[in-house]
Amino acid sequence: MLFLSLSILLSVLLLLNFRLFPRYEINTFQAIVFNYPVCFITGFLLLPAGQTFSIDFSQTWTWLALGLGVGFILTFLLSGASTQRMGITATSLANNLSLVIPVCFSLFAFRAGGGAAAFDVLNYLGLVLALVAVGLSTYKKETIVEKQIGETSPKISRLGVSALLPVAVFVFYGATNTMINYMNLRYIPSTDKTVQVTLTMVLGAIVAGLVMLTVRIIQGKEQIQLRSLVGAVTLGVPNFLSFYTLLLALSAFGSNGAFVYPLYNIGVILLAAVVAALFFREQLSTANKVGLGLAVVAIALISWQELAKAWG
């Protein structure tokens, strides 16, 4: 349980970074861009003994991994914006409930784990509740906001746009995780390639991030800030380690992802909510609280069969 607990803690630390960046005037975009070189260095130092990193462009999975790297940085940018505008709780819910998307693709498109017949009524109910939970967790009552801070109609409409950020996080995280599953099923021959594949994904994110940063500098929209490099370190190290410790947790539990992932997702959701309430005084409406509860129930229902087997 040590590695699983560390992975949960490190994942929440990522959201905590995003929440604190504005307070310390750290440029979130630059911190995200530079966090990937930090991730790469961290991962390179953790390469198993005797392994070196290399890229084989003749392999299909190499190009898929590089493409996923682009998806990673886009998803991370959305996650940062969502955390700062909608809060830690809503973003963590959207992130962790995105497991619905790869689960559906695994069942109906990839036919993994025995196909759709392996799911029962409770599993399907969990999928539906997960979607409802995302909607409730991102719900904001505009009339209350208008009364409290006196915003005009255009600003209220921007609130509606901000509320879509967790939904975008949900979709993008789900899409990238689905592609990872597809790549593992079709193109990755063995688990000893895990760090190699991860570093290739990070390399794709590095290239995409530097291209975006260069364009913004040329356009005069960005100037490199030293404090953003500090933010990149506080973001990049836990970013890679959260993924790495999750892999170690999977190994410790015999690669039983159906058991590990629900515990991981529930743990991140609950810890993120506690951190948000204690340190940032994030106020949750009744609908948001219901969404939080439904999220835990949904994840439990989606994986109840494997959880029962593991505990049995």
Question: How many domains are contained in the chain?
Answer: 1
Question: What are the CA-CA distances from residue 278 to residues 193, 275, 281 (Å)?
Answer: 40, 5, 6
User: What pLDDT was estimated at residue 69?
Assistant: 92
pTM of the shown model: 0.83
Quote the domain boundaries for residue 26. 2-311
Asked if the model's pLDDT at residue 160 lies above 80, the reply is: no
Q: At what angle do helices 304-311 and 257-280 cross, to 10 degrees?
A: 100
Res 283: pLDDT:
83
Q: How many CA atoms lie within 13 A of 72 on its CB side?
A: 28
279-308 pLDDT, tens digit per residue, is 998 888 888 889 899 988 988 888 787 667
The per-residue pLDDT for range 83-120, each reduced to its tens digit, is 998 899 889 988 988 888 877 787 777 665 544 446 78
State the pLDDT at residue 148.
41
Q: Is the pLDDT of residue 190 over 70?
A: no
Residue bearing tokens 């993120």? 272
- Tokens matching residue 49: 């003994």
Residue 54's pLDDT band, with cuts at 50, 70 and 90, is confident
Contacts 24+ apart (CB under 8 A), 118-122: 118/305, 120/305, 122/301, 122/304
List, for residues 227-282, the tens digit of each pLDDT value.
Answer: 999 999 999 999 999 988 887 887 777 766 667 777 888 889 899 999 999 999 88
Instruction: For residues 159-187, give the mean pLDDT.
Output: 82
- The yes-or-no verdict on residue 143 having pLDDT over 70 is no
| Burial of 160 from C-beta contacts in 10 A (0-12 / 13-18 / 19+) | exposed
- The distance in angstroms from the start CA to the end CA of the chain is 17
Distance, C-alpha 72 to centroid of its chain: 9
Q: Does residue 199 carry a pLDDT above 80?
A: yes
CA 264, CA 76: separation in Å to the nearest integer?
19
262 Cβ neighbours under 8 A, 6+ residues apart? 299, 300, 302, 303, 306, 307
Integer Cα distance of 226 and 234 in angstroms: 13
The per-residue pLDDT for 193 is: 67
Contact present, 215 and 111 (Cβ < 8 Å): no
pLDDT at 159: 53
The alpha carbon torsion through 28, 91, 164, 66 (nearest 10 deg) reads 60
Rounded-to-integer distance, Cα 252 and Cα 233, Å: 28
In 3D, which of 100, 110, 101, 108 has the Cα closest to residue 187?
110
Distance between CA atoms of residues 72 and 208, nearest Å: 10
One-letter amino acid of 185:
L
Confidence of residue 151 (pLDDT cuts 50, 70, 90): very low
